[in-house]
Structure 1
Amino acid sequence: MRADLRRSATGSENRWSAWLSYRRGVRLKFLLRPGWLGLIALVAVFTTLCFTLLAPWQFSRSDEAQARNNAISESFHTPPRPLGEVLPAGQAPDERTEWAQVLLRGQYLPEGETLGWQRTVLGEPAFEVLTPFRLADGTTVLVNRGFVRPVNGTQAPAYDAPPSGEVTLTARVRTDENDSKQRPLFEHDGHRWAYAVNSGTISQGTGIALQPGYFALNEGQPGVLGALPLPRLESGPYFSYALQWIAFGIMAVIAIGYLIYSELRPGARPAWRDAEAGSEGGAKSEPQPRRKKMSVAEAIAEDERREREEAERREAADAESTSKT
């Protein structure tokens, strides 16, 4: 008899555990509704973008700004060096060599002069004057002689030609700009124009082989026009933007967690009940007795209570019948 009682109790416990597992599944079944699935997917995609794309992108921009500031600061404390020491054998500039001051000795090639189209200097429209410069060793580099202000919006003003003969220049190393559309040089108002300061594009348009990168003249150098100002030494808002994207991703997860909790907690009125009420309110019907509004969690809790009482009654009946046998 005791063995039968133990088997009966064990069976009851198994049924109770299965019933609890079933009720937990029913309790969260509303998450399978299309609206909830879409919201969860949206939060998942947004959070993933925040953590894997947006925040790292802002961190990288912050690192670039810091590296630029360090390079400019270091250039003030380092005397200009010959070009071959900074960029040996025609090496292209990179983040380690950009902004370094170099010495250039040679002569200008005014026949290859090109203007930079639609530039902005100190917050105002400008054109930049780009002139090839042949070094004493025979290689040719692109020198940015500075900026001039446009006339009537799109016309270049009269400006000084570069000096003839051999001169020595002090300039800063700059990396080539990139035109996403890869547009070639064009003619306008009697001048040759470039959409970006890119040695490769200007080399193709002028037929003059140029070393990668270009060199911006310092103030007071032979042939300089309006010397280009250096960027302000500031890190910018990128680091704080990166932290904000991380915070947004965390807040999105917390928000959807709170919405799920609000849907489950007692006394809550789920959104889908409001939608059903709104759709039914359009058609007139007989007034119904007012019933207490129950949330999903309250309705499930009521079902649980009833089923638990029913299970307890059945267990008591099973135990009583077993004891009689």
Structure 2
Amino acid sequence: MITDDKATGRVRVSSRARLMMTGALLFLVAVFLTLGTWQVQRLYWKLDLIARVEARVGAPAVSAPAQSDWGAVNREKDEYRRVTATGTFSHDQTALVQAVTELGAGFWVLTPIRLEDGSTVLINRGFVPADRRDVAARGEGELDGTVTVTGLLRITEPGGAFLRSNDPASDRWFSRDVAAIAAAKGLHNVAPYFIDADAKPNPGGLPIGGLTIVRFRNSHLVYALTWFALATMSAAGAYLVYRQRIKAD
């Protein structure tokens, strides 16, 4: 209870109110400590993820997961592995996915490659500027015959981009959604991943591969320190309020 002491002009807080304030502050201490601990756990998880991805990117290329292994492919253990795939491109079933890169705005060129076992993998062959999206403007890069692609395995990106959904009916793509692109292009037996081609030049210079950005945002330490600082402040506040309660009693 809070009362106004007219004799001294001071506002007096009852012992019960101080106890409730102390309890509330201690509750906040527990909440902030929990959040801080969670951020520390996330920090170690992120550091481990970064180390594993860097090891995959720098490792020698291996064959892309075969059809029998597709069910075991997942983001945690497979994304950004260096892989190779050998087959024949189906250029007439290419999808252009809107992209913004260090080279400006344009499109990713996603072309299916049919492998010897009859399965299909979508290959992100690289970037083309918006004014070179038409095949006629980059025809030299349409490779024929058997080719081998080396690049980074990527996991499908379903749905679309922020505030922009893929529109298969209009052939407008904002994310590399493997299943949706496969359905729209009439592809069958398609791997649940795609491959970002490396920087090996294509005839005519387009598409431009090797633009994959391997970067992970890691602010967990800052968040952890913030939560622990708030916990310390709340604990100090609880101590001060409780001490005032003892003096008042």
* TM-score, normalised relative to structure 1: 0.57
Displacement of 1:178: 3.6
Q: Secondary structure at the match of 1:212?
A: strand
For the 8 Å contact 2:109–2:127, the answer to whether it is kept is: yes
Aligned residue for 1:71? Answer: 53
Please list every run of 5 or more consecutive structure 2 residues that lacks an aligned counterpart in the other structure.
1-12
Q: Distance in 1 between matches of 2:27 and 2:103?
A: 41
Q: Distance in 2 between matches of 1:206 and 1:46?
A: 56
Please list every run of 5 or more consecutive structure 1 residues that lacks an aligned counterpart in the other structure.
1-25, 267-296, 301-325
For the 8 Å contact 1:55–1:242, the answer to whether it is kept is: no
Q: Distance in 2 between matches of 1:133 and 1:143?
A: 7
Counterpart among 247, 255, 266 of residue 228 in structure 2: 247
Rg comparison, structure with higher value: 1
Aligned residue for 2:38? Answer: 56
Aligned residue for 1:207? Answer: 186
Amino acid at match of 1:257: A
CA-to-partner distance for each residue in 1:247-268, whole Å, 9 max, x for gaps? 13422432431451474476xx
Q: Secondary structure at the match of 1:96?
A: helix
Q: Distance in 2 between matches of 1:169 and 1:221?
A: 11
CA-to-partner distance for each residue in 1:150-183, whole Å, 9 max, x for gaps? 35xxx94644453122211112111122437894
Q: Map 1:44-193 to 2 at 5 A.
A: 44=27, 47-48=30-31, 50-53=32-35, 56=38, 59-60=41-42, 63-64=45-46, 66-76=48-58, 78-84=59-65, 88-91=68-71, 92-117=73-98, 119-122=99-102, 124-151=104-131, 156=133, 158-160=137-139, 161-179=141-159, 183-186=165-168, 192-193=171-172
Residues 168, 122 of structure 1: alpha-carbon distance in 2 compared, 3 angstrom cutoff: same
Residues 29, 229 of structure 1: alpha-carbon distance in 2 compared, 3 angstrom cutoff: same
For the 8 Å contact 1:133–1:143, the answer to whether it is kept is: yes
CA-to-partner distance for each residue in 1:261-304, whole Å, 9 max, x for gaps? 474476xxxxxxxxxxxxxxxxxxxxxxxxxxxxxx2xx5xxxx
Q: CA RMSD in A?
A: 3.7
Displacement of 1:74: 4.0
Q: Distance in 1 between matches of 2:40 and 2:94?
A: 37
For the 8 Å contact 2:111–2:122, the answer to whether it is kept is: yes
For the 8 Å contact 1:176–1:213, the answer to whether it is kept is: yes
Displacement of 1:57: 5.2
Q: Secondary structure at the match of 1:169?
A: strand
Residues 81, 240 of structure 1: alpha-carbon distance in 2 compared, 3 angstrom cutoff: same
Residues 201, 54 of structure 1: alpha-carbon distance in 2 compared, 3 angstrom cutoff: farther
Q: Distance in 2 between matches of 1:178 and 1:130?
A: 15
Sequence identity percentage: 18
Displacement of 1:65: 5.2
Amino acid at match of 1:105: T
Q: Distance in 1 between matches of 2:130 and 2:60?
A: 34
How many positions carry a matched residue from both structures?
228
* TM-score, normalised relative to structure 2: 0.71
Counterpart among 237, 241, 244 of residue 256 in structure 1: 237
For the 8 Å contact 1:62–1:238, the answer to whether it is kept is: no
Residues 125, 80 of structure 1: alpha-carbon distance in 2 compared, 3 angstrom cutoff: same
Displacement of 1:138: 0.6
4+ residue stretches of structure 1 with deviation over 6 A?
none
Aligned residue for 1:29? Answer: 16
Q: Which has the higher contact order (CA 8 A, sep 6+)?
A: 2
